[in-house]
């Protein structure tokens, strides 16, 4: 029988990985955390389609991270000078900070991918199992769930353009920016409309009329999940102590 980790297990892993990434600035630490995240993505998303989507996501993020790296490299001017020409000045601190910032951004985006495929209801049940107030649980779950909803709407618009034989890759950079600006308005409007419909549904179901709320399904951790969570917390504590 194939083991599927509980959502709470994945959330703890993501919190620990991103927490260490935010606390420490060393590029080596960021590289190790990024490698661990990518291994987890391949383990938890074993299907060929999921791996193809992961590779596409990495290729798209690579361009954004390259831009972030260049900006951090050029605007961090303190430290020992490695290369200088006219207004261009590259220092050791600039390189270190550019690498750390780029890898951290890459890590956070990929770590968020571990949480994207879970349905909305699973977040509510998981946060309820942690004794979160259900209003807070709903807000957190709705925020996390908004990103895949937004992506789904954007992908539908891109498919519409493809059916009309319009390819953004063939457009020049100014034309591509204009196309994205035109696409963004209906995508945001559609997403906001969905949020409005959800708010109306909550009012019709008397949201917050009672202080407590019951759930049909319970989020219970099996022994393997408990072992993974304990090991993750122990390893995180050891890393924080050793890197202090």
What confidence tens digit (pLDDT) does each residue in 13-43 have? 999 988 888 888 788 888 888 888 888 887 7
The pLDDT tens digits for 77-98 are 777 777 777 777 788 778 888 8
Q: What is the dihedral of CA 113, 115, 119, 125, to 10 degrees?
A: -170
Q: Which of 117, 113, 122 is nearest to 140 (CA)?
A: 122
Q: Is 66's pLDDT higher than 70?
A: yes
Q: Is 1's pLDDT higher than 60?
A: no
The pLDDT tens digits for 193-219 are 777 777 777 777 677 676 666 666 667
Going from the C-alpha of 185 to that of each of 3, 144, 157, 173, the distances in angstroms are: 42, 21, 11, 19
Q: Which of 33, 95, 34 is nearest to 69 (CA)?
A: 95
Residues with Cβ within 8 Å of 112's Cβ and at least 6 positions away in sequence, in order, are 14, 147
The answer to whether 94 and 77 have CB atoms below 8 angstroms apart is yes
pTM of the model: 0.73
Q: Is 74's pLDDT higher than 60?
A: yes
CA distance 242 to 244: 6
**Residue 10 burial (CB < 10 Å; 0-12/13-18/19+)?**
buried
């Amino acid at each position: 029988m194939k083991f599927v980790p509980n959502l709470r297990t994945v959330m703890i892993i993501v919190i620990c990985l991103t927490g260490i990434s935010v606390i420490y600035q060393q590029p080596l630490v960021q590289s190790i955390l990024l490698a661990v995240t990518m291994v987890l993505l391949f383990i938890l998303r074993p299907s060929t389609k999921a791996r193809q989507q992961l590779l596409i996501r990495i290729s798209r993020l690579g361009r954004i991270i390259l831009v972030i790296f260049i900006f951090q490299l050029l605007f961090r001017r303190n430290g020992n000078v490695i290369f200088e020409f006219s207004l261009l000045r590259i220092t050791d601190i600039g390189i270190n900070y550019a690498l750390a910032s780029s890898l951290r951004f890459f890590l956070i985006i990929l770590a968020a991918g571990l949480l994207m495929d879970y349905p909305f209801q699973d977040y509510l049940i998981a946060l309820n199992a942690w004794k979160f107030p259900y209003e807070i649980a709903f807000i957190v779950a709705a925020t996390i769930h908004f990103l895949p909803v937004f992506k789904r709407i954007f992908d539908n618009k891109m498919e519409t353009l493809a059916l009309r034989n319009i390819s953004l890759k063939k457009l020049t950079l100014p034309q591509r920016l204009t196309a994205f600006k035109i696409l963004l308005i209906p995508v945001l409007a559609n997403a906001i409309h969905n949020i409005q419909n959800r708010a109306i549904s909550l009012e019709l179901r008397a949201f917050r009329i009672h202080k407590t709320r019951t759930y049909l399904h319970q989020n219970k951790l099996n022994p393997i999940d408990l072992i993974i969570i304990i090991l993750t917390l122990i390893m995180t504590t050891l890393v924080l102590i050793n890197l202090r």
